[in-house]
Structure 1
């Protein structure tokens, strides 16, 4: 693919990529698969949180998102505070310089317009604003593709998110609630599309054939402390979540069920360790997953999945495995409803092990029926993503030549 000037189109990808969050990296993988299939001549690089990981895993050049390497560490000493302040100024020039070198910049998926987890305005919201403002200044088309959004109480964070969305050249969302949230913030969403999460474009392994004997249950855990507005009771929320989840796992073990613990971010390892110690049973093991493909393999081999992280749910549903969500945000409820499992959501802030176990048993009774439902919903998601990615090509590469007609192949980027 070439630009109107005859040179290859330069495409950047932006976000907290390569930083340990498997969902973020899965969204990147889906977008790289799309670019390599439909725009193979594009020159692609990244501005991201973990450049070494992105380059090693995906084979594209990558630049560190922040000049200050301690950006996401708590700063208590005067020197660390000064370095953060200086870093904010330096990042203005670094981001602008990077954006200027591209015709298109894609922010692939991720909850970049929400604050469902603790978030400071001068962290990623500030970085996203710099990106979108730079795009407007230099004429680079910045696209927020399949992103998540939600109501934001903190005024500075809300202002940065709102202006980022307004300055972007293209927006699409992974659910209706996200689009509604941006409309409520004053963003004109009249031309914005909604489509399934980008991770549904990734290839999924063949689901296992359930046997008559009860099999493995995958339990996806999270280092959960509530959202941005829950800081005052974050520890209480975490204790209740951990206690309820541990009691649920112990009940499964008492029924003789093997349990496989899953994570979605490096920080979740502390919760895995706590559950392993508390339950202390050979029936409970922890999976080592480095990608959404690994997560899909684990969930495809299970009888049932109970999970907290959004992309743990995506992987299980994409694999066609009956799933129960420990829901911590509207995005999880919306995902479960889209896939026909709206009845199987349980609040992550108030995990009641007894009620969760009752929901789990009801889910397993309907396993065969729900597997058929998931097969149908996954086909629908594939068709919707195919249409969306075709529209994305028209919106982002209007002057390009030599592009192919898009067909979604659910391939994994190398």
Structure 2
């Protein structure tokens, strides 16, 4: 049988995609780009949080992740609680049936094995467990690709995450911190590699850095309420974060600096609005962003960036803009160190506007040096993401005449021209 006679590989993509988080959608976009370039004959669809958005934006068929449409809303009545419970049972059959239709299912990046933000065990951790268990039973390959992980306090969540990781066919992590956290939960990660976040493979907008030393500052805001184990202090944590960020933005505006507030999730919009209202300055505006490409354009036009949400940091670092991380977990610290800015982290839980302003001035004083460092580190990071995609092909996709020919070609023919 020739390669032309073989049935195309059926690939499913699974996750909280199309649900308002730009980072999640950026990971989806990265994997679709990889599949289009390396496996153009693959038949691709998704099981995700926002199927209508995914279909309209990316042009692939999509199925709703949960049968019950109110899955991620608080159940405040007996009827809704019963509907949620019924949905859990229905989703067992729905997920298994969807998985069986595929040869490969990819979970693209994102923090699917972590609880650095509030997360209930019977939400996405349960959905991920159903996916991985269904894959094992139906012999469909399930790949957790460049995912994030963290220490998990909740026993139920930890159990679901541990078994999801164990049952997956392929795992890779977006950093050693994530891999070590999953290993500490009892998963053998000795054969698992670490790679940068998948969104580093996305195109980078071309832009010259602002020449004006008083140029605009991007401040990435976030609906931050602490982690999963801090629910009792959630409002206190959020108030400290909001007050500290507002004080910092006010100081910039009073110094005559234009400030662009950017968001990475629909949940962040009220935070941006609250800061805008509190500062009440024409120098402070809110950027309209619908994708990571939009975020990168905003950050490429900025003199400096200060941001909390993880994929806001990724975007800022990718375009080479000097950045301070309002760090809420070790993944942010690890990312900043990887790109050479490890000293420019500030705790999101304890923002001190005066100290943050001092760090900001130090950052801007080393702007030219930091831009050179970021340019150098981004070359290395981009190559590592290419390595990730090559490893994924080797692990999941059967060889064809085309891929065999590539593998047998002289090494110099495959090497990128400098």
Normalising by structure 1, report the TM-score. 0.96
Structure 1 residue runs of 4+, over 6 Å off?
2-5, 406-409
Task: Name the counterpart of 2:28.
Answer: 28
What is the CA distance between 1:383 and its match in structure 2?
A: 1.2
The 5-angstrom pairing of residues 312-391 of structure 1 reads 312-391=312-391
The answer to whether the 8 A contact 1:112-1:148 is kept is: yes
The 5-angstrom pairing of residues 201-350 of structure 1 reads 201-350=201-350
Alpha carbons of structure 1 residues 362 and 178: separation in structure 2 relative to 1, 3 Å: same
Q: Structure 2: how far apart are the matches of 1:235 and 1:99?
A: 39
Q: Structure 1: how far apart are the matches of 2:73 and 2:209?
A: 45
The answer to whether the 8 A contact 2:213-2:303 is kept is: no
Unmatched segments (≥5 aa) in structure 1: 410-414
The answer to whether the 8 A contact 1:27-1:109 is kept is: yes
What is the CA distance between 1:207 and its match in structure 2?
A: 3.4
226-235 vs 212-221, which moves further: 212-221
The answer to whether the 8 A contact 1:385-1:408 is kept is: no
Deviations, residues 346-383 of structure 1 (Å, cap 9, x unaligned): 00001100000000000000000000000000000011
Alpha carbons of structure 1 residues 400 and 184: separation in structure 2 relative to 1, 3 Å: farther
Task: Name the counterpart of 2:61.
Answer: 61
What is the CA distance between 1:55 and its match in structure 2?
A: 0.3
RMSD, aligned α-carbons:
1.6
Deviations, residues 204-224 of structure 1 (Å, cap 9, x unaligned): 112323314410000000010
Deviations, residues 22-42 of structure 1 (Å, cap 9, x unaligned): 000000000000000000000
Structure of greater relative contact order (alpha carbons < 8 Å, 6+ residues apart): 1
The answer to whether the 8 A contact 1:117-1:226 is kept is: yes
The answer to whether the 8 A contact 2:103-2:141 is kept is: yes
The answer to whether the 8 A contact 1:175-1:195 is kept is: yes
Count matched residues.
408
The 5-angstrom pairing of residues 23-102 of structure 1 reads 23-102=23-102
Q: Structure 2: how far apart are the matches of 1:299 and 1:255?
A: 20
Task: Please state whether the residue corresponding to 1:74 is helix, strand or coil.
Answer: coil
The 5-angstrom pairing of residues 12-27 of structure 1 reads 12-27=12-27
Alpha carbons of structure 1 residues 85 and 325: separation in structure 2 relative to 1, 3 Å: same
Task: Please state whether the residue corresponding to 1:402 is helix, strand or coil.
Answer: helix
Task: Name the counterpart of 2:410.
Answer: none
What is the CA distance between 1:386 and its match in structure 2?
A: 1.4
The answer to whether the 8 A contact 1:201-1:382 is kept is: yes
Task: Name the counterpart of 2:197.
Answer: 197
The answer to whether the 8 A contact 2:210-2:301 is kept is: no
What is the CA distance between 1:398 and its match in structure 2?
A: 3.0
Unmatched segments (≥5 aa) in structure 2: 408-413
Q: Structure 2: how far apart are the matches of 1:383 and 1:166?
A: 28
The answer to whether the 8 A contact 1:68-1:87 is kept is: yes
